[in-house]
Amino acid sequence: MSSPLIELKNIKKKYTTKAGDFPVLKGINLNIEEGEFISIMGKSGSGKTTLLNILGLLDKFNEGEYTFRGENISNFNENRKSEFRNKNMGFIFQQFHLIESLTVYQNIEMPLLYRSGETKEDRRKKIEERLEQVGLLEKRNNKPFELSGGQQQRIAIARALVTDPYLILADEPTGALDSETSDDIMELIKKLNDDGKTIIMVTHDKDLKRYTTRDVYLKDGEFSEEATI
């Protein structure tokens, strides 16, 4: 039997502040299979972003083990983490996180510039393919501020996809959008999952359950039954 895409074993995380230690995750166990579209739900402050950042190797944890495709990645140094992230993961954020001084095209190009051995022409093909996929090829030379919120999120999705990652991590991807635009973006993300991408999405919006294949609920640093959050 093949191992899951992701295995988290007894992950514990505390923030150390001047006010003292603050435990956020108290022993998280989670297996994610390739092809799942999983949401992490829970109230504000329940640790959703912290968990997503750990899954995305953007934040450290204090105890436990993180295995990705059978490989223990818990002890990677920062360089290996960056390389691993760039190769395997794409990120989508609530506030899009596009670079305002760059064009749409250049924003999508960014993750490819960290890689060696790709020509400008290789990059152009990948970028245009993704621009087409999100339906915004004609905006390639615009700056982010010239786009609507929904269009900016589409560009952020194109940027997340340009490296063809195994895994998409999305933190409240519709949190800054009106409900109609949210539906469009969720349809686009759902389509990525239909095409085989594994997706982990953080949200506090229970309506988004209609798009996912599985939902987990965080409460007080542990997984909980839905009814109790």
Ligand X SMILES: Nc1ncnc2c1ncn2[C@@H]1O[C@H](COP(=O)(O)OP(=O)(O)OP(=O)(O)O)[C@@H](O)[C@H]1O
Residues near Mg ion, by CB under 5 A: 49
> Is there a contact between 200 and 214 (Cβ–Cβ < 8 Å)?
no
Rounded to a whole number of angstroms, the minimum distance from the CB of residue 200 to Mg ion is 13
User: Chain centroid to CA 149: how far?
Assistant: 18
Binding marks (x or -) toward ligand X, 3..22, rule CB under 6 A? ------------x-x----x
**Amino acid letter for position 74:** S
Toward ligand X, which CB reaches closer, 14 or 81?
14
Question: Both tokens of residue 198?
Answer: 């594994």
Amino acid identity, position 33: E
Extract the runs of DSSP E, i.e. beta strands, from 18-143: 20-32, 37-42, 63-68, 71-72, 89-93
Query: Which of 133, 203 has the CB closer to Mg ion?
Result: 203
Torsion-angle region of residue 14: left (phi > 0), alpha (psi -120 to 50) or beta? beta
User: And the tokens for 72?
Assistant: 């223990």
Binder of residue 4, out of ligand X, Mg ion, none (CB less than 5 to 8 A by kind) = none
Q: With binding defined as CB under 6 A, does residue 133 bind ligand X?
A: no
Write each residue from 26 to 55 as x if it is in contact with ligand X (CB under 6 A), else as -, in one continuous string: ----------------x-xxxxxxx-----
When CB distances are held under 5 to 8 angstroms depending on the partner's kind, the choice from Mg ion, ligand X, none that residue 77 binds is none
Contact call for residues 212 and 41 (beta carbons, < 8 A): no
- Considering only residues 191 to 210 of the shown chain, the ones binding ligand X according to CB under 6 A are 204
Cβ nearer to ligand X, comparing 46 with 107: 46
Contact residues for ligand X, defined by CB under 6 A: 15, 17, 22, 24, 42, 44-50, 204
